[in-house]
Structure 1
Amino acid sequence: MLDVLAVTVPVFLIIGAGYLAVWRSLFTQSQVDGLMVFTQRFAIPCLLFGAMVRLDLSEGFDWRLLVSYYSGSLVCFVAGILGTLLWLRRGAEDAVAVGFAAMFANTVLLGLPIAERAYGSDSLAPNFTIIAFNAAFCYLIGISAMEAVRAGGSGFLGGMRTVARKMSTNSLMIGVALGLAVNLTGLSLPDPLAEAIDLIARAALPAALFGLGGVLVQYRPEGDARGIVLCCGIALILHPAWTWGIGTVLGLGEGPFRAAVLTAAMAPGVNSYLFAAMHGRAVRISASSVLIGTAASVVTVSGWLLLL
């Protein structure tokens, strides 16, 4: 157990340091915003670009990995919707927003550093494979469902155009796409350029973790306790449990199996709040679930690591 805590606690200590720095006004919210702009638009895209360039496509894109993880995402989305409709007794639009929060795991800011500390940087290829599809998959499902239930919405085609526009301007997706393009074409980057990209990428995870802590200060838990419990329970327990079961049935290899389960065990990501705010639905549940889910995952992720 001490070995497991040695993996997870340093990650959450960095998040806590960022939270404390902003809470005590040692670091301003505008400075956090600037740090997150650097990590989200530059450092993490460089990290993902380098990972995609080096990814062995013949081994990385295992259909069993994707089915294990993303079937769990769909189950969590449906569970969030049904729980909101039947238990919370809220409307369909709120249900879609809660379902999105339950589905969208923090695959990058939490998933990558914990997996790296647990199993080493050489084990991350399956994690990057999941990340390559995560935003596009979740936004496609979430926006399509929201447009389907929203009166006066732009319809399915309008929802697809929104997804395409968001993905084409998303820095993380651009980093993934460019990295895959270099990988598929077999191009070789000049050494100075490759080294510069790696230097920026090395700053990505520690800076992003500190920034995440600062961002969480503004997501104060407010009311809707049952909704928060529902969302966090689905994200932290149901998703990894489902992924574990399907991965076992499909005979997923040890490395991809660990990556899929551990990634599925992550707390709801900040995109959960952004999706809710974009549609003006279940914003308090989504924001509080990001904060409380991240705090609770200190325990739950340690538990899943112990089982793995």
Structure 2
Amino acid sequence: MTTVLLDALVPIFVGLLLGYLAGRRGVMDNVNVRNLIVFVMNFAIPCALFSTIIRTSREDLDQQIPTALMITLVFTVLYTAGCLCARRSLKMSVSDASVLALTIGFPNSAAVALPLFATSYGPASSVTAALSIAVGAITISPLTVALLEADKQSQGTEINIRNVLRNFVRALARSVVWAPALALVCAYFGVHLPSYANRTLMTFGSAATGSALMLTGVVVSAQRFRFNKDVFWMTLIILLIQPIFALSMTLLFHMSRDHIRDITIISTIPGGFFGLVFGKSFDATPKTASSELIASYGAGWLTLALWMLVMAKYF
């Protein structure tokens, strides 16, 4: 088990560390990261998701429906709780609250779950990892963009719900949103792409893991770390409360052992970079979110390994 953990976790955290050091030492520009963001969010991750999901059979997708619904429940509940907490307890603006909520509610599946599951649990679990990215990309990610757009348009006044809905629809045009959705439709109806199209997608998609890890490290390196009680509680929510909630829900609905394991492990992954990436375009980069992201990765290597050991022993 130790070898499996090392094989799965060391490459991930080395990639994150390389990105962080490159940003801190000026090897890579950690302020003007737009080009890297565009490549990762508009090309690499959408291609990786599309190529992974479209190879899934209709029967396997049918089996993954409960998993997708449960992941949606877990992400949505944590996102909502994070947003309400940020608004009421931390007195954040709608923009800052949505960025913090996405950082809490959407684990970094793009950089961590895909390589982790492929190494530890095999190809079938890789589909679950891809679905977790697709769920977050289709639900709470466009909602965050919609809230950011609506808050900017309101210019400090009350947000119009119609604007939120309109901006949500517009956010669906992003490739990281529609690519996995289209792949699900194609896979479900048995649409097969020519071999050259599959190879093209796989070529770009193969860069997703490394580039997402580097991007996460670079983005984190630009943030100033301040540890306080707010950061402590937000980190605790990500690394402890979220996986406990996910485990409780999967047990409550009597899901299979593999689904219990996969959903729980996904929920133990440290916070994702989507929130800070989206917020950067709207000048919404709350210090609590960036510090919590750093703290979750500082402790995440240990908690993730512990959760994997627990799930291996008891599930």
TM over 0.5, shorter chain: yes
Gaps of 5+ in 1: none
Aligned equivalent of 2:291: 288
| RMSD (Å) for aligned C-alpha atoms | 3.0
- Scaled by the length of structure 1, what TM-score is found? 0.84
Q: Is the 8 A contact 1:140 1:160 kept in 2?
A: no
Distance in 1 (alpha carbons) for counterparts of 2:180 and 2:141 = 16
Answering whether residue 304 of structure 2 is matched by residue 301 of structure 1, we say yes
In structure 2, the gaps of 5 or more residues are: none
Matching residue within 193, 209, 212 for 1:189: 193
- Asked whether the equivalents of residues 239 and 300 of structure 2 are also in contact (C-alpha less than 8 Å), the reply is yes
State the one-letter code of the partner of 2:259: P
Q: Residues 85 and 213 from structure 1, CA distance in 2 versus in 1: closer, same or farther, beyond 3 angstroms?
A: closer
CA distance in 1, matches of 2:171, 2:130: 20
Counterpart of 2:193 in 1: which secondary structure? Answer: coil
Task: Tell me which residue corresponds to 2:165.
Answer: 160
Could you say what secondary structure the match of 1:187 adopts? coil
Distance 1:276 1:234, change over 3 A: farther
Question: How far did residue 21 of structure 1 move?
Answer: 2.1
One-letter amino acid matched to 1:227: D
Partner of 1:20: 21
- In the alignment, the residues of structure 2 paired with residue 144 and residue 166 of structure 1 have an alpha-carbon distance, to the nearest angstrom, of 7
Matched, 1:108 2:101: no
Q: What letter is aligned with 1:108?
A: A
Query: Alpha-carbon deviations, 1:224-269, whole Å to 9, x = none?
Result: x222112211112111111111111212122222221111112221
For 1:21 and 1:274, how far apart are their aligned partners in 2?
18
Secondary structure at the counterpart of residue 124 of structure 1: helix
Q: Residues 16 and 214 of structure 2 are in contact (CA less than 8 Å); yes or no, is this contact kept in structure 1?
A: yes
- In structure 2, give the amino acid aligned to 1:42: F
Mapped contact 2:109–2:269 kept (Cα < 8 A): yes
% same residue: 21
Contact 1:101 1:231 in 2 (8 A): no
CA distance in 1 between partners of 2:32 and 2:79 (Å) = 34
2:45 counterpart residue number: 44
User: Could you say what secondary structure the match of 2:172 adopts?
Assistant: helix
Which residue does the alignment assign to 1:201? 205
Q: TM-score, normalised by structure 2?
A: 0.83
The alignment covers a number of residue pairs equal to: 304
Please give the alpha-carbon distance, in whole angstroms, between the structure 2 residues aligned to 1:52 and 1:106: 18
Change (3 A) 1:64 1:182: closer
Q: Does 1:260 align with 2:263?
A: yes
| TM superposition shift of 1:82 | 5.7
> What code does the residue aligned with 2:110 have?
V
> Are the counterparts in 2 of residues 220 and 287 from structure 1 also a CA contact under 8 Å?
yes
C-alpha contact 2:24 2:222 (8 A) present in aligned 1: no
Q: 1:178 to 1:106 in 2, by over 3 A?
A: same
Does residue 125 (structure 1) correspond to residue 130 (structure 2)? The answer is no
Give the whole-Å Cα distance in 1 for the aligned partners of 2:201 and 2:269. 27
- 1:202/1:161 CA distance change after superposition, 3 Å: same
> Alpha-carbon deviation of 1:13?
0.7
Which residue identity lines up with residue 132 of structure 2 in the other structure? I
Amino acid in structure 2 at the alignment position of 1:262: I
Equivalent-residue separation in structure 2 for 1:89 and 1:18 (angstroms): 30
